[in-house]
Amino acid sequence: MIPVLVVSSVLFLGIAIYLFILDFRLKRLERKNYE
Amino acid sequence: MILVLSGVFIIPSIYYCLLIAPVESKIGEFYRIIYFHIPAAWLCVVAFLVSFVASILFLSKSKQIYDAIAAKSAEIGLLFALLATIMGSIFASLTWGSPWNWDPREVSIVVLMMIYVAYIVLRSSIQNSDRRGKVSAGYSIIAFMAVPFLVFIMPRITPSLHPENIGSGTLPLTMLLGVLGMVVGFTLLFIQILKTAVKIDLEGR
């Protein structure tokens, strides 16, 4: 069970970080374009 | 909203796949990796399909949004193909004894990744945005022609270690339920990622 838990945790953590970075970049670009 | 909806599918599915779904008699608990491996593999095919359709639309309508969708969808598809390969390798090393077995599906996904890496390299090598859009759309349309052969035909005409349970409908309903829940959740997650990535691309132009 441990490999499954490791794989799923790393996968979803990775996707969450990726989404967070994308969102951060989008907000920064929108602010820059607005200014 | 889409993110919340994907959570509505993914969170109960994770609970179901890890704690409720029955243990596979031959492989044991390790088999649960398939609940993450199959949706990732599914998503890479969906992403390449979206890239293909967006490329056709870009060539016919010349709207920048279609070029952005095609490019970002191919990138996300590549990312999920890589994730599916890594998870598949972990699963293979735990069940078949080696992370790489020259299985037709392993080879075909690597070939697919190489085709789409070439797509990204091609895009980055052209400076003129209009020319880049047209050339990469043409490449994307031709590249997608290989997808049905590499994903659906080649692994079925050559001996494979992969079971063909889902296609033949023999996957037990208790396992199929988990796979379907994750597939729907992952697809919604893909829509959310694609939407944000396309917005970034268009804002940056």
pLDDT, one tens digit per residue, over B25-57 is 777 888 899 899 999 999 999 999 999 999 999
Nearest chain B residue to A2, by CA: B30
Structure tokens at A23: 């969102």
pLDDT band at residue B168 under the 50/70/90 scheme: low
pLDDT band at residue A1 under the 50/70/90 scheme: confident
Complex ipTM above 0.85? yes
Of B29, B90, B196, the CB nearest to A26: B196
CB atoms under 10 Å from CB of B59, counted, come to 17
Task: Give the closest-approach CA distance of B157 to chain A in angstroms.
Answer: 30
Structure tokens at B182: 């994750």
Q: What is the SS3 string spanning A8-31?
A: HHHHHHHHHHHHHHHHHHHHHHHH
> Are B119 and B146 contacting, i.e. CB atoms less than 8 angstroms apart?
no
Angle between helices B129-144 and B34-61 (to 10 degrees): 130
Q: Is the pLDDT of residue B193 over 70?
A: yes
The per-residue pLDDT for range B122-145, each reduced to its tens digit, is 999 999 988 999 999 999 999 999
B37-to-A22, B132, B167 alpha-carbon distances in Å: 23, 33, 16
In angstroms, rounded to a whole number, what is the distance separating the alpha carbons of residues B198 and B171? 36
The per-residue pLDDT for range B66-76, each reduced to its tens digit, is 999 999 999 99
